[in-house]
Amino acid sequence: MGPEDEKKQETKQETKKPERVYDVKDGVNLTSVSVVNKDGKTAIVTVKFENTDSDKHTSDNKVQPSLKTAFEGAVKDAAKKTDLTEITISSTTNGNHGSEKSLHYEGKALDISKVNSKPVVSIGDADPVKSIQTAFQSQTGRRENMGPSLMRCAGTADVKSQKTIDDHKNHVHLGVE
């Protein structure tokens, strides 16, 4: 290896990106949620996790405690109004989200791809998706609530961007401050 090859090797090492960390420091895992359902009975809403296509990494990562609290609160409130047995999360800190400022990378956002084993896109603006999004609006610290039923950012402002609206027809995005 000559001097030029050594310089190339050094440059490669200097520009190498740090390995991505998926678990948030001091974070918590999302888990299944004990609820009182619409019939007044105690039940469990099972939480499942998927891998994202963009980075092939699981969504079962540690997130900010405030996200877990808001998510669980929304699930408990929604379960009182509609049949809710299972939620599949497709993204927390994993995936590629179009902006380096995405709340996902901070462990402050999650995406729900399925509810009761049905894709969100096939449920659309109906229960139980509607109940989950409506319930999330009343959670402390909520910031982003985008999906088929609501398109809210910064808590109460309606999202106007057609691209953002189109990007959230197949999942529910919930984010906290």
Tell me which H or E stretch contains 165.
helix 162-167
Indicate the pTM of the whole model. Answer: 0.88
Measured distance between the N- and C-terminal CA atoms of the chain, rounded to whole angstroms: 52
Domain CATH for 160:
3.30.1380
Domain assignment present for residue 108? The answer is yes
Mean pLDDT by 10 residues, the chain (177 residues): 56 64 97 97 98 94 98 98 98 92 96 98 96 97 95 83 89 97
Domain assignment present for residue 86? The answer is yes
Domain assignment present for residue 111? The answer is yes
Domain assignment present for residue 31? The answer is yes
Domain assignment present for residue 76? The answer is yes
Residue span of the structural domain in which 36 resides? 20-176
- Alpha-carbon dihedral sign for residues 91, 152, 131, 36: positive
The CA angle 120-63-88, to the nearest 5 degrees, is 20
Give how many domains the chain has, as a whole number.
Answer: 1
